């Protein structure tokens, strides 16, 4: 009985460790040797329990747990590292690994403020998979997650009020007014998302640093009361020819500021980045879990068949002994 309880405990522990790969998808912990070792030890304990198990149904549940462990080991050891794909709205990213292409939905200043953009995964001869911010979708042994990331839609105007083209010569989309803040910079002890863009018509380049509402409150800058609770951008405007800074300014989301001869305005919000994480294959996991449940429930409902056989053997031996004694008595 004690051995069986220990077996169930090992099964639950193994399932918990493997399911953590789905709950915390994308965490690098699952690709470490320490994680693999922990699963391997649990697998070894389960195999020991299999060899000692006397009930057929309970052995089935142990084999189910072994399948779960193997699935978890395979995704952790053999599965590729987590891939994070951040793209500008309205662009396409081919993903050869999963034979698909990710279509990042178009966005407007209003939609990024709402944060309701989505990513469509298209594969030949398959239905589209829609991944919205915060949702999770299985694709074989991969889990697709859309993580909401800070984004800014930038508009720039000349002194005369004419709109200026925004380009990102070093970004992933040259003609994109959407800043994705893929890098971070430490400012006053805190890490801030940072990005940059160019205004070729105005001969300006601009560095933009993202500040959350809480960080804005600590900045001690004069912002209009309407901007309270809004995130803000710090702009550092440079002359593109001399690379000389022409001024620094902070403006909240939706408000315009004039720095270095250009008027800048940004709408801040969120836009999803696609995270593709290796996870245990759901069908194999389901098979393992089914065997565990059937095995445990079945062995609870049925009398312990191993113990039954053992007691039957004892009874037989007992009867056999009595018969022999009886026979001796008769002989005597």
Binding site for other proteins (CB under 8 A): 43, 46-47, 50-51, 59, 63, 66-67, 69-71, 73-75, 78-81, 83, 85, 88-98, 106, 108, 140-142, 161-166, 172-177, 200-201, 276, 278, 280-281, 284
**Least spacing, CB of residue 16 vs other proteins, in Å:** 18
**Least spacing, CB of residue 273 vs other proteins, in Å:** 12
Question: Which residue, 62 or 232, is less far from other proteins as judged by CB?
Answer: 62
Tokens, residue 264:
């800048």
Q: Residue 232 half-sphere exposure, CB side, CA atoms within 13 Å?
A: 25
- CA 95: distance to chain centroid? 17
- Number of CB atoms found within 10 A of residue 149's CB: 17
2 vs 13: CA distance, rounded Å:
17
Cβ atoms of 207 and 235 within 8 Å: the answer is yes
**Least spacing, CB of residue 57 vs other proteins, in Å:** 15
Question: Which residue, 141 or 269, is less far from other proteins as judged by CB?
Answer: 141
Question: Which residue, 22 or 85, is less far from other proteins as judged by CB?
Answer: 85
Question: Which residue, 142 or 270, is less far from other proteins as judged by CB?
Answer: 142
261: Cβ–Cβ under 8 A, 6 or more apart, which residues? Answer: 158, 159, 202, 204, 246
63 vs 284: CA distance, rounded Å:
12
Question: Which residue, 99 or 326, is less far from other proteins as judged by CB?
Answer: 99
List 129's β-bridge partners, or say none: 121
- Number of CB atoms found within 10 A of residue 303's CB: 10
Question: Which residue, 62 or 250, is less far from other proteins as judged by CB?
Answer: 62
**Least spacing, CB of residue 189 vs other proteins, in Å:** 33
332 vs 328: CA distance, rounded Å:
6
**Least spacing, CB of residue 301 vs other proteins, in Å:** 23
**Least spacing, CB of residue 134 vs other proteins, in Å:** 22
Cβ atoms of 39 and 18 within 8 Å: the answer is yes
Tokens, residue 267:
């709408």
**Least spacing, CB of residue 42 vs other proteins, in Å:** 12
Helix or strand (DSSP H, E) at 110: helix 109-114
Question: Which residue, 59 or 253, is less far from other proteins as judged by CB?
Answer: 59
DSSP character for 133?
B
Question: Which residue, 208 or 216, is less far from other proteins as judged by CB?
Answer: 208
**Least spacing, CB of residue 235 vs other proteins, in Å:** 18
Cβ atoms of 22 and 72 within 8 Å: the answer is no
3-state helix, strand, coil in the chain (%, to 5): 40, 30, 25
């Amino acid at each position: 009985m004690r051995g069986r309880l220990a077996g169930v405990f090992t099964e639950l522990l193994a399932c918990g460790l493997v399911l953590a790969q789905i709950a915390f998808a994308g965490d690098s912990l699952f690709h470490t040797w320490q994680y693999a070792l922990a699963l391997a030890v649990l697998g070894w304990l389960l195999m020991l329990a299999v060899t000692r198990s006397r009930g057929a149904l309970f052995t089935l549940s142990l084999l189910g747990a072994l399948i779960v462990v193997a699935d978890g080991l395979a995704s952790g050891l053999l599965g590729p590292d987590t891939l994070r794909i951040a793209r500008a709205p309205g662009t396409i990213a081919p993903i050869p690994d999963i034979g698909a292409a990710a279509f990042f939905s178009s966005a407007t200043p209003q939609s990024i403020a709402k944060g309701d953009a989505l990513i469509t995964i298209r594969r030949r001869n398959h239905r589209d998979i829609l991944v919205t911010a915060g949702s999770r979708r299985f694709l074989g042994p991969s889990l697709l997650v859309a993580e909401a990331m800070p984004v800014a839609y930038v508009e720039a105007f000349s002194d005369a009020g004419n709109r200026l083209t925004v380009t990102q010569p070093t970004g992933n989309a040259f003609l994109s007014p959407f800043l994705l803040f893929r890098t971070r910079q430490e400012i006053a002890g805190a890490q801030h998302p940072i990005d940059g863009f160019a205004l070729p018509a105005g001969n300006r380049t601009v560095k933009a640093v993202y500040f959350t509402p809480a960080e804005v409150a600590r900045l001690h800058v004069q912002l209009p009361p309407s901007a309270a609770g809004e995130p803000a951008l710090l702009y550092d405007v440079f002359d593109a020819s001399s690379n000389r800074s022409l001024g620094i300014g902070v403006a909240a989301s939706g408000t315009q500021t004039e720095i270095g001869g250009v008027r800048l305005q940004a709408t801040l919000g969120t836009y999803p980045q696609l995270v593709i994480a290796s996870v245990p294959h759901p069908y194999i996991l389901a098979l393992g879990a089914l065997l565990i449940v059937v095995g445990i429930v079945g062995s609870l409902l049925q009398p312990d068949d191993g113990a039954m056989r053992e007691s039957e053997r004892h009874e037989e031996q007992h009867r056999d002994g009595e018969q022999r004694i009886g026979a001796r008595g008769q002989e005597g």
